[in-house]
Structure 1
């Protein structure tokens, strides 16, 4: 620890904590007010006791790695939490999400798979995030479980301890990730009592948009096929009625221009022959 004019810098070589290790730098600055900041690497930490101590959240069980850069300013914990800025990433190995059975919810489209006794076993979870004015935002969360995969994005308000997050879980997908049942899931409310709601309106809208895109693609394909048939018919008529025959690599338009030029050249030749014959 180095202290200089009300500013303390803690160089953390290696600290054992929560079944893992913490290293990096932590700063407490008391010059003209209070601020805290750091650049920390947390490896192999048990997430449940860590999150219980940080925010009273006990639903996530598993060990993970966390990289975190942060800065907070204020004369109380609440003020500091609401001012946080920074960035980081998190990666979890095998674990358990308590209070929510994602696969059961997707199979039945029933939010009753939330509550005591419900859980989702996962293989990996990874995400990066940024923090601004006490709000953590993320748009690249990837969640993999034996029967469910999911992507997610949203916000976590650190000061208010609230969630506004959107998951796109896919249950019972094929080995290659295709198919399966997908229903967007909205997670809102407080950390202590989050609310889960299936976004069926968004699902209907997405399916309508997908169907519209399919119809548009089908219409374009049918138009292209009709155009191709029309060109074939035009080429047939041009050959039969006008004697226009395309050569290798030649378009119908080029063949028509060539045929017209040949006719002009032939007619000019005949006129020249008559003129020369008349002169004799």
Structure 2
């Protein structure tokens, strides 16, 4: 035996001898009493029942309790564990005292009483943190394979599973420090927390990482009284709707957003969180400003003002779960789902995209109150002109009252056509005004109730796909020739104007005309909003009125038929040739 091994063996014999000199009674009753007293002193748990107690000295002294039931003194926290292991301190054993520095809870099942109606993490964590704060000292607690049931009046509010946590030992007014992992609502999450247990200003931090969330906060908590938490926060998520769903928040408006990140100096007060110097990143587009999230009367309210360089408004609108409007759909509108949370959000950007259109100097807003939804463009530049719009929906006895206003002013249509293919055959400078007002419980009822007006005007441009001037000249020479290949070419115009009134779900085109140097084109008729069909007639005439070509515009709005009304201007002899010409 080497000298070193001999020294170790001698020390071990001495230690065992010292322990043997103590009057250790390893009977079950003695072990239970010592273990229970130590656990209650160092953890704050009151042990209600145990099935078996064991003590072992090698390789390290420890007490093991099986099938343990426990409760905190005020009953906020209660539970049971398959096994509780208390790791004894060696030196106190030499004097016959039981003391330990670590408690292992193996497969514990813990119930925490939370306020009735609570649905927030802050409300759920407050009771447990308050219990730990009452302890003057606390051993290291290791939780493995645990689960926590949050109950309000006996009903389960939420369940946290697969808990593996280490709560560090502390004494006096040292902060509570824990780290580990858990599974909440099917999402494994790693976290760490440093929480001050004494009044005054003290450091606080929180870190959480999962597939849905990366969060880091390092700041301070000040007191006494109602604490104020402040400091820098960094939060990011690959999908804000999924993150909100993870927290139990099903938001119709939240579904408009995708990947999101927020960094801000936050200040947390009771029922209020302020985000100062906030940087918000939405799908790679940065917005700067300030926001506030508050709770009042059981409703959460988000308010803020943000500004940035660019924003894709079209992408946001495309993600909204807007139902397909169909007159056959008799499902009532659900405005309540869109107004479940209060919102007052103002956003301005240098440039924005909206369904292909490019806008500049954009100011927009969303204003939501219970039973009221409003959004709009306060201002936006567009292709040398400007765009404005407003949508207001409010709850009414007959369903939902809708008010829609939109306007274009001095927009260069040719420039817009480069981004909007549907305008590819039109150029010029245009103005437009739309005002609609209706109320209904379903989309069909809403269409049938609409009243309002539409005004259109354009000047100094062209319309592609037809050459009205050439068509008139050909018609003057030979009406038959006018029917050949007339859907080609371009028609320059000096002005376009159209005015329409809407009532009872019918749009009546009261005045509409387009004028050029050698023609005048007018159109009148109606459009039925419910079936979305057109029934209109038009007349193309020379300036002196000598030649006139009538047209009909009928059919579905998406693909109406625009044809020359041949029988109205052809002679009987020429009419006989029309079928042959039209089939060539």
Distance apart, 1:143 and its partner CA: 0.9
CA distance in 2, matches of 1:160, 1:76: 15
What's 2:483 paired with? Answer: 111
Distance apart, 1:129 and its partner CA: 0.8
Change (3 A) 1:161 1:106: farther
Structure 2 residue corresponding to 1:139, chosen from 505, 510, 513: 510
Structure 1 residue corresponding to 2:560, chosen from 184, 194, 206: 194
Change (3 A) 1:37 1:123: same
CA distance in 1, matches of 2:523, 2:413: 19
Change (3 A) 1:38 1:18: farther
The reply to whether residue 92 of structure 1 matches residue 453 of structure 2 is no
Distance apart, 1:153 and its partner CA: 0.9
What's 2:368 paired with? Answer: 3
What's 1:27 paired with? Answer: 392
What's 2:403 paired with? Answer: 37
Distance apart, 1:27 and its partner CA: 1.0
Question: More strand by proportion, 1 or 2?
Answer: 2
Q: Which has the higher contact order (CA 8 A, sep 6+)?
A: 1
SS in 2 for 1:103: helix
CA distance in 1, matches of 2:468, 2:552: 12
CA distance in 1, matches of 2:407, 2:394: 21
Alpha carbons 1:136, 1:157 under 8 Å: kept: yes
Q: Deviations over 1:156-190 (max 9, x none)?
A: 3445443322222113xxxxx43441122222233
Distance apart, 1:94 and its partner CA: 2.0
State TM-score, norm by structure 2: 0.29
What's 2:538 paired with? Answer: 167
CA distance in 2, matches of 1:57, 1:73: 32
Q: Which structure 1 residue ranges, 4+ long, deviate > 6 Å from structure 2?
A: 48-51, 75-79
The reply to whether residue 68 of structure 1 matches residue 439 of structure 2 is no
CA distance in 1, matches of 2:558, 2:464: 13
Structure 1, unaligned runs of 5 or more:
172-176, 206-280
SS in 2 for 1:107: helix
Distance apart, 1:192 and its partner CA: 4.3
The reply to whether residue 126 of structure 1 matches residue 126 of structure 2 is no
Question: More helix by proportion, 1 or 2?
Answer: 1
SS in 1 for 2:489: strand
Distance apart, 1:154 and its partner CA: 1.3
Greater Cα shift, 100-109 or 135-144? 100-109
Change (3 A) 1:196 1:13: closer
State TM-score, norm by structure 1: 0.56
CA distance in 2, matches of 1:114, 1:82: 37
Distance apart, 1:65 and its partner CA: 0.9
Change (3 A) 1:15 1:108: same
Distance apart, 1:152 and its partner CA: 2.0
Change (3 A) 1:49 1:74: farther
SS in 2 for 1:28: strand
Alpha carbons 1:39, 1:68 under 8 Å: kept: yes
Q: Deviations over 1:61-87 (max 9, x none)?
A: 433111221024567778755653211
What's 1:274 paired with? Answer: none
SS in 2 for 1:105: helix
Greater Cα shift, 31-40 or 136-145? 31-40
Alignment RMSD: 3.9
